[in-house]
Each structure stands twice: as C-alpha cells, then as structure tokens.
Structure 1
C-alpha cells in the first residue's frame, strides 16, 4: 500500500519581501475575516500593508523569515521514518507539507501527492486543537486543491487530538525539567499559553478554547503534582474585537505582583515560530522582567520529540482502516454538543 500523509500548518514568509503577501493571504481567508468579496480583499490589502512593518520588525529577530517550513519538514521526515519502522514493507509512506498562507501551499502539495499516486491519503493538521480558523480552513483549502488535481485516492482527515498521549507526554517531559529548575527559586506557576481567538468565534460554536483547556488538563494529570499552580491564557491579541481570555500579558503581570516564578508553556504550538521565538522569548520575557517576575522560563515546543512523533504515528496508523472521512483521535466525538462548529464525525 502507498500511503500519503499531508501535514498542514500555517506557513510563514521565507524572505522579507514575502511578509506583506503572506499577511494578505492570511487576512483574505474567509475563516479569518468573514466579510464578502470584494470587501474582504480590500480589508486584507489594507490590514496587510499596515501590519507589514510591524511584522518585519518581528521577523528581523529571526533573520527576516519564518523557521516554520524547515521545522515542519523535520517533523515530516521523523513521522515518515517512524511509520516505516512500525509498519515495515507493508506500506510505502511519504509525507507532504501543505502550508495555508505561504509556500508550499495546497495546489503545489496536491500535485506532488498526485504524482506519488497513493492508495490512501491521511490529512493531518499540525494543530492539536481544532478551530474553524486553522484546521477547518486548511482542510477546506486542500479539498479544493485535491479536486482541481483530480485526486481520487481514499482520503481521511484527523480533525483534532488535543489529549493525544504522545503530545501530552512530550510537553510533560519538557516541562518537568523546567519545574525542577524553577523550584530552586520558589514554587513556580505553570502558564499554558495558546494563540487567542475573537470571542465571537467561540460563541458561534468553535471548540478551540475548550480543547486547549483539555490539552492543559491532560498535561497536568500526567505531571501528577498535588497543589500545582497552573493556569491557561491566550496570547497574540490584535484588533478592536473582544478576545478570549485571560490574556497572557495580564497573567505575566499578575505573576510579577505575586512574586512567583513563571513557566510559560506553548500548549497550542507544536513548532517554534514568531509567536514563541519572539513574542514569548523576547517580548513577554521583557514584560516579565519589568513586572518583577522572579524568574521566567519558557518550555520548548514539542517539535520532533520522540513522544510527539510516536503519537502522530499512532494517529495516522489508526486512520488507515478508518471508514469515516473525518474523525478525532479514538473515533469518538470529543467536543460537547454546544460546539456545533466541530467537524468530527465520531
């Protein structure tokens, strides 16, 4: 059997000149700005031109480009190797990358998958927690690209895996090291930080916030530390809309007032990129110092941690015999019914 795995991620500019068009693609996505065309196009053009200088300053700390593609390729290679080792000669597996807002995008990826001519395609968003703004947007974009490329192979989609054992175990393993270090200074507070969303998106039935909280809880249960001081917060708030909270910046300030060491854990990011390497490591670290936080630690993203890669491997293998076109980990719907925007059919 020939198995194709398509890994979805946000993407990022690969040079300074790509920053503004990357932002335009982001804001021109209906899942991000729901206005009809051509209004959305005009808004995207305006916002991307205004935000480009700010983003350029952010990416200047990263050499003018995002590291996300290289890091995602590392994950793809590790996943391919793990599946090949587990399944042996019974399957020929190849992993492909489809970025949402910058190259390689769905159309290019679909052509490569078409050339591979697989018997089965497993779609795997590198977003453990489902959101209409991330996983669903990527899956819809792929569906259009696959149709255009006339791909007919059986295709199944993993919509979410917020409590995946490998994912939670990888975070726990990384976090334990920092808890031990921080404990020499005082009892630390663990702050699970995820990218925020406008509150109205969650109120419309998006399960993202609920799933983020489930991910944090899964890690806390694995830590098994009585009286652990832990919280969930949300970062990267922009624009005038009300966003879900509490805000990570506010929680950093609170830690300063209460004089507790702080460990920030990127609970919704599986790779390092601007929100971790700049926002968490530079901007929020400076804020922590100004607010008097005794010590500031940041847990690395799971990246190619063996526990995480093995968790993804098990997800993919479970989908080879899957009869549903979309399902969460375990095949059972995870989200409470009030989150009607969840697309899983478990």
Structure 2
C-alpha cells in the first residue's frame, strides 16, 4: 500500500495555506467476486446475505425473495457453505484461496506496472462482496492522489451477475467522492490472444504430465439462468467463443472439448448442459472414462472450482463409471496469466500516461 502522507505538496501557483495534495497518479483497481472473512456461521451469513441480496444475482421480487432468504436460506446455508469453505481454507493465512491468489496476482501486476510506468501507477484490489470493499479501495486511491482509475473486473466474460454488479459498486463508490477521478472500465477479455494462450499453455502442461491423455476436455463455466441469455446477456456466447478459440489454438477437433455450465441455483432452467450431469453422461453413455476439467471463466481458484469441481462434479463422474478425473487449476498467478492481464491493463491505459 502507498503511504498517502509522503510527497504532499501545494499545487503550483496556489497560496501557501492551500491544502497539500499528493502527486497525481493513475489507479488500477482489480476486482473479484469476494470471500467471507471466516468459515463460522456469522461470517458466512454476512457474506451470503450481501451476495444473495444483490438484485444482479437474484432478480426476483424482494417481497418474495427476502423473506425466503432471511428466514429459511440464511438459517441453514451458512452451515453447509461454511463447511465447504473450511475444506479449502488457507489455514496458515486464515483466508480463502481466492483472497490468497488475488493478493499474489496484485503483487505481480504491481511489479509489472512499476517496470513499465515507474511510480505513476498504483495497483490494488477489492471485492464486490465482503472485504476489502470496493468503496474503501476507491477512497484509498483518491486519498493517494489517483486522479484517474482503471477499474478491472477479473472476469474474462461479461455477465450481469458478475461484471455488471462489480461495475455498479464501483460507480456507487464514485458517487461518494467530492472530486471524482476520471474512470474507465476494462472490457471483457474472453477472446484476448494472450488469455487464450495462457489457457492453452495450462492445458498443454497438464496433459504433458499425465500418463494417459484424457478422452475429452470439459470446459466448465459458471452458469446463469437461461432467461438472462434471452434477455440479452452476452455471457453464453462469449463462453462458447473462448472454447472455440482454445480448441483452435490447441489444434483439436470439435469432439476433443465440451462446453458446460456449473453452479446452478434455484428452480428455473440455467444454461445447459449442466457440468455435474454432463460428466456423468460422458462416462455412462459415451464411455469417456478419462476426462480433464478446466474452468476458463474463473481468474482464480475459489469455492466453485476447488470444492464444487474437485469434489461434487468429480464424484458425479466417478459414480457414473468414470475412472480418471483431472482438474486443471485456474490461471491464478501463473506468469502467462499475468502477461495477459498486464497487457489488457496496458491497452486500457492508452492516452493516460507515457511509459517510464
């Protein structure tokens, strides 16, 4: 973190009693979904309440949804979700893997930005739900002298329930600032050549380490209700394009990769095929006994990958007769991923500052 008390000066030509201000710089604010502060009941309840009360995530009428959420779901789900988080918790740092990985990504991107722009750029991260909050990090950047902020939701694909709600929170945070910084939001990078390259390299490394090549690669993306697609959300199409570009980069045929969607919640139909059902079908009906699963929509491993894919979805595959299940980790802080993210940032900083 920057020391906001260092380098304070009066603006040129200002009177001597003018408040001192920090030197102007550009902020790069990375944003991810969020994480509970702990695995206990109340930490989980606070986190789930914030997450599931977001109208971008659950858009049912509050008159119907809130009583159900407060009286039924939040009386039970914190226990099961807490147990799931506990199974993957980073006990040494007392934080979730998502927090650990996001910190590492931020540190590496900070170093890359310093190499290119010197001390002109401040890099930090925030979470949409939980801590560190988006408003607190926007405030810190303004106090540090960031007259411009590039907001970067760490979702390769745009969805109303991910990118849009992160952007909403960012702009709500700007509403509180007396002197608003100039702001830009990074576009989805689902087709960026360096992102596709990083995905391809992760698959190639994983396959090279296996004794037996998988029969098929399952690209499992986080799901959304099918209704969102019908209402204009581009998420489904962007996921399909990532899978196609990855397949082409690897030089594979159409049958070598399957696109699926996970994490279904609630009674309505979501994007299909559902990962948990498709892996069972691949084993039972298609005789695919050896599969690998990758999660291209996640920039960092989290509860949906480490617990849902590596436990629930793996169990579904094995119960259907599958024999070898390999989860290929998210790109996390891999150097190729940092290359991609840094390139996206550099492209979006165009015109704001020169290279050092």
* Superposition map of 1:1-346 within 5 A: 2-15=25-38, 16=40, 17-37=42-62, 40-46=65-71, 47-63=73-89, 66-87=96-117, 89=118, 91-182=119-210, 184-185=211-212, 188-226=215-253, 229-257=256-284, 258-260=286-288, 261-321=290-350
- Contact 1:120-1:320 at 8 Å conserved across structures: no
Is 115-124 or 55-64 further displaced after alignment?
55-64
The 8 Å contact of residues 156 and 322 in structure 1, kept in 2 or not, is answered as no
CA–CA separation in structure 2 for the residues paired with 1:177 and 1:321: 33
**Gap change, CA 1:40 and 1:254, over 3 Å in 2:** closer
The alpha carbon displacement at 1:50 in A equals 3.2
Secondary structure class of the residue paired with 2:190: coil
Aligned counterparts of 1:214 and 1:59: Cα–Cα separation in 2: 31
Mark the structure with the bigger radius of gyration.
Answer: 2
Q: Which residue of 1 aligns with 2:21?
A: none
| TM-score for the superposition, normalised by structure 2 | 0.84
Change (3 A) 1:151 1:250: farther
TM-score (norm 1): 0.86
Distance 2:63 2:280 in 1: 41
User: Any gaps of 5 or more consecutive residues in structure 2?
Assistant: 1-23
What is residue 344 of structure 1 aligned with on the other side?
Answer: none
Q: Is the 8 A contact 1:123 1:157 kept in 2?
A: yes
Q: Distance in 2 between matches of 1:290 and 1:28?
A: 35
What whole-Å deviation, never above 9, does each CA across 1:232-291 have from its counterpart, x for those lacking one? Answer: 001111211111110101121122123321010011011011111111112222222222
* CA RMSD after TM alignment: 2.0
For structure 1, the 5+ residue unaligned runs are: 324-346
Contact conserved, 1:166 with 1:309, CA < 8 A, in 2?
no
Question: Matches of 1:74 and 1:178 in 2, distance apart?
Answer: 22
